Amino acid sequence: MTASGGTDVCILGGGPGGSAAALQLARHGVRTTLVEKAVFPRDKVCGDALSGKVMRTLERLDPALAERVNGDAHVQASWGVTFVAPGGASLRVPFSRHTGEGEAPGAILPRVHFDDLLFQAVKHGGQVDVMEGRTAKAFDRTSGGWHITLSGPDGARTELDCRMILDASGANSTFSRHVARLPMEPRHHAAGVRAYFSGVKGLDPDGFIELHFLKELLPGYLWVFPLPDGHANVGLGLRSDMVKRRRLDLKAELLRLLREHATLRERFVDAVPVGSVQGMGLPLGSRRRSISGEGYLLIGDAAHLIDPFTGEGISHAMISGVHAADVAADMLARNDLSAMAAKAYDARVWKRLGQELSISTRLQRLADQAWLFDLVVDRAAKNPALADTIACMFTDLDLRAQLKKPGFYWKLVRGTR
């Protein structure tokens, strides 16, 4: 056993949440150690879609890093979204009227590349100690903060002391479940599977992502996200309580739908899987939880912050990571690591993401109504103003809030929108 000494902040996990927190703590000049179980580059099961919020957060953190992401050889710029309604009708909606001009509002970049860009920026930034290939196993309170036991690939144990823990160790975080006591609740959790394919026909030349709201999957959906060279990230997700109730094997269901479903089978007839179908859980932000405590803050998936309607979690991990770094720096400067002081973090995260998460929770609850999707897609195909409204929903929260109002649907049914 070796002792690696002490630090002010220990970040658990070097995914987008942990890396964003590390970059921001470096700006504050806080002594930080990041502990990461894997050796990078490492894969992460994901749809790989980077929203405008990811790009904006990166811009603010480090413009040079944002440029590296945009210029990566594996990135596919995305200019919009195609919805396929349960009845089979589809609606192609650009994210902005200025499709093809300037920088694309979104992108698709496999996580093995995206996460590595962020992680290497932390590792080579020279301000954060990075311990790669080390798993944080046990957490004990001490008078000065925390005593963490780490285990390496050869089983060797290392000990680390710190004043604060920022837990960004993802959906299966031991710290979040057993120390912070955030349970996995099937109603507020989804299961997702994805595979990479080559040879998929009909991929959008402008990188429009495809969301297929198939009857058998509602309120979840199947996605086809285009990548360069005719490759695509294809997957599906559904709330965990429904997966259990419907007794679905999601990996088999994905392959069955691609083989048999009327809107997909022709396009996948010559498609070749690249690797296997892989699955992972999505802790959803459909319930407000306490995400901090004495001497610790939870970030990203460890804090259950994934959008319950779209499944978007990368931006929420990064946004919460930046807030966690700001609050931690302030707590350390004031020498107040109490649970009460840490509540400033909850307040900031819910101020930034709370409204969005609550709208998405309502949308998720509406989304098992197949008729509603059919109606919206049918009307929007004939009504450019409505199509515009839907496009703006992805970039403008106020318009998205319209979907909460019963009047929206009334006008829709009467065709007066």
Which positions lie near ligand FAD, rule CB under 6 A? 12-18, 35-38, 44-49, 135-136, 168-171, 174, 192, 194, 235, 237, 280, 282, 300-302, 306, 311-315, 317
- In this chain, which residue has its C-beta nearest to ligand FAD? 313
Does residue 327 contact residue 319 with C-beta atoms inside 8 Å? no
Query: What residues form DSSP beta bridges with 64?
Result: none
Nearest approach in angstroms of CB 223 to ligand FAD is 7
Nearest approach in angstroms of CB 135 to ligand FAD is 4
Tell me the C-alpha to C-alpha distance, in Å, between residue 36 and each of 20, 152, 169: 14, 10, 8
Question: With respect to ligand FAD, which residue has the nearer C-beta, 178 or 405?
Answer: 178
Nearest approach in angstroms of CB 153 to ligand FAD is 12
Nearest approach in angstroms of CB 202 to ligand FAD is 20
What is the H or E stretch that residue 234 is in? strand 231-239
Question: With respect to ligand FAD, which residue has the nearer C-beta, 304 or 412?
Answer: 304
Nearest approach in angstroms of CB 264 to ligand FAD is 18
Kindly give the residue spans of alpha helices, DSSP state H, lying in 152-304: 174, 240-245, 250-260, 265-268
Question: With respect to ligand FAD, which residue has the nearer C-beta, 38 or 344?
Answer: 38
Question: With respect to ligand FAD, which residue has the nearer C-beta, 18 or 226?
Answer: 18
Question: With respect to ligand FAD, which residue has the nearer C-beta, 81 or 386?
Answer: 81
Nearest approach in angstroms of CB 242 to ligand FAD is 15
Does residue 190 contact residue 313 with C-beta atoms inside 8 Å? no
Nearest approach in angstroms of CB 318 to ligand FAD is 8
The Cα 120–Cα 103 span in angstroms is: 24
- Residues in Cβ contact with 262 at an 8 Å cutoff, skipping those fewer than 6 apart: 88
Question: With respect to ligand FAD, which residue has the nearer C-beta, 267 or 316?
Answer: 316
Does residue 55 contact residue 183 with C-beta atoms inside 8 Å? no
Question: With respect to ligand FAD, which residue has the nearer C-beta, 17 or 145?
Answer: 17
Kindly report the number of other CB atoms within 10 A of residue 398's CB atom.
Answer: 9
Does residue 7 contact residue 162 with C-beta atoms inside 8 Å? yes
Matching residue, tokens 């290939």: 133
Size (the chain), residues: 417
Report the candidate in 223, 243, 248, 244 with the shortest Cα–Cα distance to residue 233: 223
Query: What value does the CA radius of gyration of the chain take, rounded to a whole number of Å?
Result: 22
Nearest approach in angstroms of CB 113 to ligand FAD is 13
End-to-end CA distance of the chain: 68
Question: With respect to ligand FAD, which residue has the nearer C-beta, 49 or 412?
Answer: 49
